[in-house]
Structure formats: C-alpha cells, structure tokens
Amino acid sequence: MTDILLITFVFLVAGVVAAPLASRFSLGSVLGYLLAGIVIGPLLSLLGVNVSSVQHVAEFGVVMMLFLVGLELEPKQLWAMKYRLMGLGGGQILITAAIIALIAVGLGQSWQVAIAIGLMFSLSSTAIVLQTLNEKGLMHSDGGRASFSVLLTQDIGVIPMLVLLPLLATDASSAAVVQETAAHDFSLVAGLSGWQTAIITVVAILLVVGGGNYLTAPIFRFVAVARLRELFTATALMFVVGISLLMSLVGVSPALGTFLAGLVLANSVYKHELEANIEPVKGLLLGLFFITVGARIDFSLLMAEFWVILGLTLTLFLVKASVLFGLGVLFKVHGSNRWLLALGVSQVGEFAFVLLSFTVANQVVSQQLADTLMLVVAMSMLMSPIMFIFYEKVIIKRCSPKMSNKADEIPPNDAKIIIAGSGRVGGIVDRMLRSAGFSTTVIDYSHERLEALERFKVSTYFGDATQPSMLHSAGIAEAKLLVIALDEAEQISKLVQYVTKAYPHVHVIARAVDRHHVYDLYAYGCRDIIRETFDSSLRIGRSAFEALGIPKAAAEEMKAVFNEYDRQNMVQVADVYKIGVPVHENDAYVERIFELQQTYAPAMEVQMRRLRDGVNVPQQPKE
C-alpha cells in the first residue's frame, strides 16, 4: 500500500509542478508532462516501477479524448468546413504520409513499416497548437482557422489509422503472437469465422449507435432526480467504460467505439454535461500518459544517435512545413497566415505516441525502432515553441501590414450572452433578448425546459452552471454578459463570486432573492443586482394607489419616488453590511438604518403626500 501511495505521489507532484511551469514559458502542458517524465524517470527506475503497466492504464485517457472529439463534431460544423477538411486537412495527411513513407523506404525500412511511420508522422499536436494559438490571440485569424481545420481532420483520421495499422503486421509469426495474446482475454469473437466475426462487430456498433440515440436521455433523466454531481460523473464514465468494454470484446479498438458514441451524442442536450464530467478525468490520464512517455525516453540512445535523431527531426519539419505551405497557397491562405499554418502545425503530435505503442503491441514496428521514433516525436514537440517564436519575431515583421495577423483583421463576433437558469425569470429574459435579435446560451438542469428550447434553435447546455468546467464549455471566457437567474441564493452567490474574480471582463446581472441577498452579492463584487420580486411589488403598490383613488400619473410618480429613495438606501447600507453576520448583531448596520430613517424617511413622506394630494412637487435631485 505504501509503495502505491509513494508512486502515486511522485506522479502527481511531477504533473503539478511541471505543467504550470511549462505553460508559464509558453511551452504547453503536453511538453510540461514530457519533461516531468524525463526528470522522474531515474527515480521511477530506482523504485522499480513498471512504467509500461502504468502507461497501459493511462492510455484510457486517449479513449476519452476521442470520445470528446466525437462530441465536438457537430454535423453542421463539419459540413461548413467540408472543403478545408477534405482538401487542406486530408491533403496534408495523404501527401505528408506518402513523402515520409518514401523517405523511410529509402532508409531501408519495409513498405509496411514505412506506411506506419508516414501515417504517424503526418499527425500534429492538437494540444500544443490550439493552446498556443489561443494564448497568442491567433485562433480567429485565417491561419488559425486553417490550422484548426488540419488538426480536426487529423483527429478524425486517427480512427481509420487505428483500424489500418494492425493490418500492416510484418509477418505471420507476428500475427500469431497477437492472436495468442488475445486468447488470454475473454472475447465474443474467439473461434468464430470471418463472416460471423463481422456480423457480431456490426451488431456491437449498432448497439453503440442505438444506445447513444435512445438510452442516454432516459438514463440521465433518472440520474438527474438525485441532483448529485458525482452521479453524473459516474454515469459519464459508465458510458465510456461500457462502450470500450463492448468494443474490446468484439476485437475492435475501444477508441473507435467511443469516437462513434461521441458522434452520436454530438447533438444531445446532455452533450456538455458529459464533456464537463469527463474532461478532468481525461486530462489527468493524458497527463499521466505523457509523463510515462517522458519516463521511457532512452537517453543513452539519444546521446548515441543524437545527430541522426536531430537530422530526422529537421527533415520532418521541412517536409511537413513545405506540404502545408503549398496547400496554403492552393487554398488561398495568404501572407503571414500561410507561414503560421506551415510552421505552427509542422511538429508531430501526441497521438503519435499512442500509435507507436499501438504498432509495437500489434507487431508492426519493433521496439528498437519505436524508441528512436519516440525520440524524434519528443524532439519535434520540444522544438515547436521555437517555431512560434520564429514566426512572431521574423515572419510577421517581414510581411507587409496588410498581411499581418492584427486584431482588427479578426471579424467581430456577436455579443456572447450566457443565461444561467431558464425558469420563471431566466425564461422571460431569454425571450426578451432573442426578440431583439441577440443569440443566447442557456445553462440549466431541467432537461424538459432545455428540450423545449432546442426546438426553437436556442443553444443549450445541460448541467450545473456553478461548475467552472460547465461555464468554460459554454464559453464564459468569450462572454460579454452573464445573466444569473438561478433559484437558490447559495448557488447565485457562488456563481457571482467565481465569475467576478475569474472573469472580471464579463458583465454580471444577478437575481437576488431578498434584500439581504442583495447586500451579499454587492459584497462579492456584483453591481447589477435585481431583486426578483421588487419590480412586481412596485407595480402592486402603484395599483394599490390607483385603487385608493389616486390618479394614474400621480401613482406612477409615487412609485418612482419610493424606488429612488429605496435605491439610495440600499447602496449606503451595503457599505456597512457584513456577510455571515446576523443583522441584529451588526451595530454599524443597525445604526445606518436608523440614520437613514431619520434623514430620508421624513422627506420622502412629505413628497409622497404632496403627490397623493395633487400638490406640485419640485424635482428631487438624484445623488
């Protein structure tokens, strides 16, 4: 038990220290994890840790990553990007893989191994590129959008690669080894003929598709009754693990099954709740995977063949950059944007590590060759930040101003509006905003309300709006306005506290349940607070005045006078209000109330009486 805790602690410390440091120096979290693995590698050897066994567990993070990729691939988005996906992204994979395969054959590799290397090296690092583009504000430039198209195509391309690579096993004895290994595991297709295996595989895939379409909603509705967030996490993991298990039982890659499930659920109202619950687990397992990759790097091999590995890495950069630059010309990516595409996406990505392990396990690539290729992949990722620095320091300065990625070239987006809660209050606010032509994003836990909103083409997110992961998925970082219309005061306060500190640029309008809740929200930093029953109470008071015989115009003015005096009192009392201290124990609060009653109440009463009796009242100056 102590050994397990010690090893777990070592991995956690390595990740917690390395990832923030790498991000601080714009290296990206993936490189941070790799460097962490390099550093702790000797310690793990000293502790006798079987890094390969740990890596097998961590590879489940890749399965989760492909599930999330499938969730993000909405059919409308794919159709809008079809030309760049098929031409720019697909062309990059095919041309790069072909050139690298020819080079590998020229260096003495068999055609099967050459194709495997070409496919693996055609992939780029989604984690490094997207994070860097977002950090540098280049995501919405033409070069950033072109890079995203290439990366998205590559992520999709991993699926057919997982199917194709085992077919490249170099000899019959290798295939026998794989079959012998598989025989030790329980399988639904063991001993079956080819056509029987095919039928069972198709049935399993249909079960995944059908289950995603028809079982997800009832299961989540059942779980939602408990209102326990950990149950949503458990349910999300249940889906992923169950699909992976089913695919493994029929001899299909678990990644393929979860990717298909993600595609099926891409338009589900529960999509974002699944994403928010799986993302943290996926991140931890992927971080562990990259740490194990770093720990397995053979430094004796690196020192012995340093110039060979460096030469291969530079050749790889040259090939990929040239292909991307040429495709950029063909698809009219201009100026510095073309260089951003060519240099930014020219490294090899994290999926190459996955596919290398996969090809070794399937006897396609030898372990000795895989160790060398792993060093080339790691070297290319370590050099990636240098490419972005070269782009910023050299390329942009040499391009004319018309071709640079300035902020004013980025097309303006519509204001991003998020509404937390779609009940009595949030529903009306949403309708008002949409009636004025604004687009809104609604977060709520009620699947009935969200399913109704989706019929009116409203962007909806099922889940807990107070969770940072859910807010991030909904786009809080790019939001201009957040309307908090939740029912419970505690949830409203929690959300106000988080957003005002983490995203100070977002204008927050918060619903307050009562007067004291207003003071709480004011103390948390919110300055646009609406008491949920105050306006309706004012209207009731105005109607009461009219029922008592006061003319409608005078009743409306009396309402306005009361509203103004109450607003002034609220602001002054808020300055002495203390969160968590009972009102009767807050001496400063009580004294301020008495002071305001003596100062403002008599003047307000005189003004109200004059309005009631029809006497002209001079306009009161606003403070």
**84-123: pLDDT as tens digits:** 788 888 999 999 999 999 999 999 888 989 999 999 999 9
Q: What angle do CA 447, 453, 454 make, to 5 degrees?
A: 85
Are residues 478 and 446 in contact, defined by beta-carbon separation less than 8 angstroms?
A: no
Among 185-194, 224-233, 262-271, 300-309, the minimum mean pLDDT is found in 185-194
Chosen domain end from 532, 565, 597: 532
In a domain, 272, yes or no: no
State how far the alpha carbon of 442 is from the alpha carbons of 213, 434, 452, 470, 531, in Å: 22, 12, 12, 11, 21
Q: Inter-axis angle of helices 142-164 and 350-361, to 10 degrees?
A: 10
Same domain, 398 and 523: no
Same domain, 355 and 419: no
Q: How far apart are CA 576 and CA 561, in angstroms?
A: 24
Are residues 507 and 453 in contact, defined by beta-carbon separation less than 8 angstroms?
A: no
In this prediction, residue 22 carries a pLDDT of: 77
Same domain, 58 and 207: yes
At 404, is the pLDDT very low, low, confident or very high (cuts 50, 70, 90)?
A: very low
Same domain, 522 and 549: no
In this prediction, residue 615 carries a pLDDT of: 59
Q: How far apart are CA 118 and CA 120, in angstroms?
A: 6
State how far the alpha carbon of 30 is from the alpha carbons of 12, 33, 127, in Å: 15, 5, 7
Half-sphere exposure for 329 (CA within 13 Å, toward CB): 5
Backbone angles phi, psi at 443, to 5 degrees: -115, 125
Q: Between β-strands 528-531 and 417-420, what pairing exists: parallel, antiparallel or unpaired?
A: unpaired
Beta bridge partners of 531: 512
pTM for the model: 0.60
Query: Terminus-to-terminus CA distance in the chain, angstroms?
Result: 68
Chosen domain end from 532, 565, 585: 532
Same domain, 522 and 540: no
Beta bridge partners of 418: 441, 482
Same domain, 423 and 318: no
Are residues 95 and 323 in contact, defined by beta-carbon separation less than 8 angstroms?
A: yes
In a domain, 394, yes or no: yes
Same domain, 211 and 289: yes
| Domain extent at residue 302 | 2-170+198-267+279-403
Beta bridge partners of 512: 531
Tokens 């004796």 belong to which residue?
Answer: 300
Chosen domain end from 369, 403, 437: 403
The count of domains in the chain is: 3
Among 64-68, 358-362, 582-586, the minimum mean pLDDT is found in 582-586
CATH number of the domain at 430, please: 3.40.50.720
Are residues 265 and 72 in contact, defined by beta-carbon separation less than 8 angstroms?
A: no
Same domain, 244 and 291: yes
Beta bridge partners of 507: 481
Same domain, 502 and 610: no
Tokens describing residue 550: 């006061």
Are residues 259 and 78 in contact, defined by beta-carbon separation less than 8 angstroms?
A: no
Same domain, 446 and 584: no
Across residues 591-607, what is the average pLDDT? 75
Q: Residues with Cβ < 8 Å from 234, sequence gap 6 or more?
A: none
Same domain, 375 and 494: no
In a domain, 175, yes or no: no
Q: How far apart are CA 200 and CA 211, in angstroms?
A: 16
